[in-house]
Chains A and B, each alone.
Chain A
């Protein structure tokens, strides 16, 4: 049935007649045109283009991949440069001060503190000198009247501090460290004893900060006005410096320098010229 229907689709008589009718062939000029066009297209668009597009694509892919890999490997190196302030090394002074107040481990900070405290003591003595009488040796003061020497904290409060950025930074870093520590400890739910220790820590931290600020102030003053270390190497140059200070009208400073000079060179005979 289906084969019969298929055969009805193809009529041999019609097909033969049509075959006899349709025997045209494509003109030669048309064949040439088409073949020439196909050949030129094949040469220009694919064979030539493909010869450089594929290597170029590979090179671009490899280049981009390398660039991405290099960029990714550089990223971890740049991060520490951005965050040096937050490294533990930068926080070390604050943390050591806090730990020192707790009495755990303060060896790296204690000598500096002691030196600063001595300096503060000396300055306080020098300031109090005119009211209390002539200056006496330091050892004598320590032995005779220990109460007369003010504590560093008192001196720090009494003496007006210079508005120095370095001092501010030191104080800010220490306060920040203590606040961070307090926050961390309170978040962790520490005990009340630990809270007391924290209070002590804060007060010791403030004292140390004040001492550091005074030391910085002293250094600054020294650098600005007093005789430099080079001048102090010999008695003559030191005296010349002192006389220069007197000539400049900075008598207070000249006096203190002279006191120091007498302490170092007790046997030096002052010439009239220097006087």
Chain B
């Protein structure tokens, strides 16, 4: 009975989540991602541009936080889109395009890790990324503190938990889709996401208590 209620409630929750994430890629719009990809497969470059504009920023942020290195993220970003372009001939809209895109991105990242074993936990982009020119000093201080804590907490997360969190927040993927992208089962993906959320929440709460 509980399972039935959960399955009925899932689409509604997913819709709410998407509505609450304006930076997430627009899902369910017409034309949807698969249709755009199929149009690009037939040579429609405008369709690809629409598709690209829909997903480029979330994917870039996902890679940036996964790699923690701007140049590497840009290389992988290009590599991912190159693979998407080359795979258009064999593309079949059997799964959601976002799942397909992030699975490719994750595989590219893993390949990069294998090629460059010296990939260290060097978070070189923190100071540069977190500066917001034009903000009030107080606001900037508060925001930068919160961001810094969250960013540090995010960087200290285990890779699987960080991956799950980024896929959830940036790509707007559900637990099932995260499990599909990461190649794990649903419960594992769910627990990874929950642990990530708890740790990040704890980091923010710790900051608030101090203030």
Contact = CB atoms under 8 A, between A and B. Distances in A.
Contact of A9 (B65, B82, B86, B197): B197
B5 A47 contact: no
Interface string A155-194: 0000000000000000000000000000000000000000
Contacts of B146: 17, 20-21
A2 B147 contact: no
Interface residues of B, number: 51
Contacts of A89: none
A47 B89 CA distance: 12
Nearest to A46: B43
Nearest to B17: A10
Given A6-B13, A9-B197, A34-B52, A41 B86 contact: yes
B40 to A, nearest CB: 7
Interface residues of A, number: 34
B97 interface: no
Contacts of A37: 78, 81-82, 85
A9 B194 contact: yes
A1 B2 contact: yes
A30 B80 CA distance: 12
B67 interface: no
A263 B78 CA distance: 116
A14 interface: yes
Interface string B3-15: 0011001100100
Interface string A1-32: 11100101111011101111110111100110
Contacts of B171: none
Contacts of B193: 9
Interface of A: 1-3, 6, 8-11, 13-15, 17-22, 24-27, 30-31, 33-35, 37-39, 41-42, 46-47, 50
* Across the A-B interface, the 6 shortest Cβ-Cβ residue pairs: A2-B6, A21-B147, A26-B60, A34-B81, A26-B56, A14-B200
27 contacts: A1-B2, A1-B5, A9-B175, A9-B194, A11-B197, A14-B197, A17-B150, A18-B154, A18-B200, A19-B23, A19-B169, A22-B65, A24-B64, A24-B129, A25-B60, A26-B57, A27-B74, A30-B60, A30-B74, A31-B56, A34-B52, A34-B78, A37-B78, A38-B40, A41-B85, A42-B85, A47-B43
Interface of B: 2, 5-6, 9-10, 13, 17, 20-21, 23, 40-41, 43, 45, 48-49, 52, 56-57, 59-61, 64-65, 74, 77-78, 81-82, 85-86, 89, 129-130, 143, 146-147, 150-151, 154, 168-170, 175, 190, 193-194, 197, 200-201, 204
